[in-house]
C-alpha cells in the first residue's frame, strides 16, 4: 500500500511542479523514447539473468505492493506454534514429532498455522532441522552452524533478484542518454526545416534523458530497495526459528526457548513478554483439553 502511495507522490509532485511552471504535458508523452529506454533495460535483464531469477523478480515486484508478511501477530503465532511443538517433544520425547515433521501439511499441530504453512522454505527449515534432532548424532553447536549456513545460502538466493533489479536501475540513466543521442541524430537530420519542428525534436531527445533518470531514482531503484528489505525480513524470521530450536536442543525449557526467540524478533514487530506468555498459556490449555478429550474417547 505504501509503495503505491510513494509512486503516486513521486510522479504526482513531478507533474504538478511541471504544470506550475506552465509546462506542456504533451511534450513529455514520447512513446518512442519510453520504448527505447524500457525495452533496452528489459533486454539487459534478460541477457544477464537466468529464467528462475526473472520469475523471482516478477514475484518480488508484485510482493512490494502488498503488506508485510511478518507482523507482530505473525511472530506471536509462530512463537506459540514453536512452544506447542517443543512442549510436545519435552512431554513425549523427540520421536513423538516424527509424524509432524514428516508430513507437516497433515500434522494436527502445524496445520493449524495456515500462514506458516504457506512458506515452504520456513516449513522445510523447521522440519528438516527437527528431523536431524530426532535422528540424533549431531551436537547443538554443529546444528547451529549448519542453520547459519542454510540461512546464508537462502538469503543470497533471495537477494539475487534485488541485485538484478538494481543493475537495471543503474543502467536506466545511461540508456536515457542513448535515447537522447538518437533524438539528437534525428534532430540533425531535420536542420533547415521549420524552427517548431526542430524544437519539438530537441524536446523529445531531452525527454529521453529525463525518463531514464526518473525511472532509475523514482521507480525501479526504490522497488529494488523494498525487495531487499523483504528478503531481510524473511531472514529475520528464520533467525527466530533458529534461536528457539537451538535453545531447546541445548536443554532449555520450551517456554524459555521461546523467550530467547522473542528477543531475536526485530524491535518494531516484537511482541511483549506478556503477549507471548498468554499465547503459550492458551496453547498449553488447548493441548490439555485435547489430551482429555482423547482419553475420554478411548
**193: which DSSP letter?**
S
Q: How far apart are CA 18 and CA 107, in angstroms?
A: 59
pLDDT at 286 over 70: no
pLDDT band, very low/low/confident/very high, at 67 (cuts 50, 70, 90): confident
Helix, strand, coil shares of the chain, percent, nearest 5, are 85, 0, 15
Q: How far apart are CA 21 and CA 202, in angstroms?
A: 19
pLDDT for the residue 55: 93
Helix axes 254-264, 72-92, angle to 10 degrees: 150
DSSP reduced 3-state for 214: helix
125-139 average pLDDT score: 89
12-24, pLDDT tens digit by residue? 999 999 999 888 8
Contact 269, 72 (CB under 8 A): yes
**22: which DSSP letter?**
T
φ and ψ at residue 56, rounded to 5 degrees: -70, -35
Helix axes 31-48, 51-64, angle to 10 degrees: 130
Contact 186, 211 (CB under 8 A): no
128-155 average pLDDT score: 91
φ and ψ at residue 195, rounded to 5 degrees: -55, -35
pLDDT for the residue 25: 86
Distances (CA, A) of 270 to 119, 123, 183, 259, 262: 20, 21, 54, 11, 7
Mean pLDDT over each residue of the chain, to the nearest integer = 89
Q: How far apart are CA 290 and CA 48, in angstroms?
A: 55
144-154 average pLDDT score: 94
* Cell output for 34: 519510453
pLDDT for the residue 47: 94
Q: How far apart are CA 297 and CA 76, in angstroms?
A: 32
Q: How far apart are CA 151 and CA 146, in angstroms?
A: 9
pLDDT for the residue 294: 47
Q: How far apart are CA 78 and CA 69, in angstroms?
A: 12
pLDDT band, very low/low/confident/very high, at 253 (cuts 50, 70, 90): very high
pLDDT for the residue 288: 55
Which of 99, 98, 111, 124 minimizes the C-alpha distance to 241?
A: 124
Amino acid at each position: 500500500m505504501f509503495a503505491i502511495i510513494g509512486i503516486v507522490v513521486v510522479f504526482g509532485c513531478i507533474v504538478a511542479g511541471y504544470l506550475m511552471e506552465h509546462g506542456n504535458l504533451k511534450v513529455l508523452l514520447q512513446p518512442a523514447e519510453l520504448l527505447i529506454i524500457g525495452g533496452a533495460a528489459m533486454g539487459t535483464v534478460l541477457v544477464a539473468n537466468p529464467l528462475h531469477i526473472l520469475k523471482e523478480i516478477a514475484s518480488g515486484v508484485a510482493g512490494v505492493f502488498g503488506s508485510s508478511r511478518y507482523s507482530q501477530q505473525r511472530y506471536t503465532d509462530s512463537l506459540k506454534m514453536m512452544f506447542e511443538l517443543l512442549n510436545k517433544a519435552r512431554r513425549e520425547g523427540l520421536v513423538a514429532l516424527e509424524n509432524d515433521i514428516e508430513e507437516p501439511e497433515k500434522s494436527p499441530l502445524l496445520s493449524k498455522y495456515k500462514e506458516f504453512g504457506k512458506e515452504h522454505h520456513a516449513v522445510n527449515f523447521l522440519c528438516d532441522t527437527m528431523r536431524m534432532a530426532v535422528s540424533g548424532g549431531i551436537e547443538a553447536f554443529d546444528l547451529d552452524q549448519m542453520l547459519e549456513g542454510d540461512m546464508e545460502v537462502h538469503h543470497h538466493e533471495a537477494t539475487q533478484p534485488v541485485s538484478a533489479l538494481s543493475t537495471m536501475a543503474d543502467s536506466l540513466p545511461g540508456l536515457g542518454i542513448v535515447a537522447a543521442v538518437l533524438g539528437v541524430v534525428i534532430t540533425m537530420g531535420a536542420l533547415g526545416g521549420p524552427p517548431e519542428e526542430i524544437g519539438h525534436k530537441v524536446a523529445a531527445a531531452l525527454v529521453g534523458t529525463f525518463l531514464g533518470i526518473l525511472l532509475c531514482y523514482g521507480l525501479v531503484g526504490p522497488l529494488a530497495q523494498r525487495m531487499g528489505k523483504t528478503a531481510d525480513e524473511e531472514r529475520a524470521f528464520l533467525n527466530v526459528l533458529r534461536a528457539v530450536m537451538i535453545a531447546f536442543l541445548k536443554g532449555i525449557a520450551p517456554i524459555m526457548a521461546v523467550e530467547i526467540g522473542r528477543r531475536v524478533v526485530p524491535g518494531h514487530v516484537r511482541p511483549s513478554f506478556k503477549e507471548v506468555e498468554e499465547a503459550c498459556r492458551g496453547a498449553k490449555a488447548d493441548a490439555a483439553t485435547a489430551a482429555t478429550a482423547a482419553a475420554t474417547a478411548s
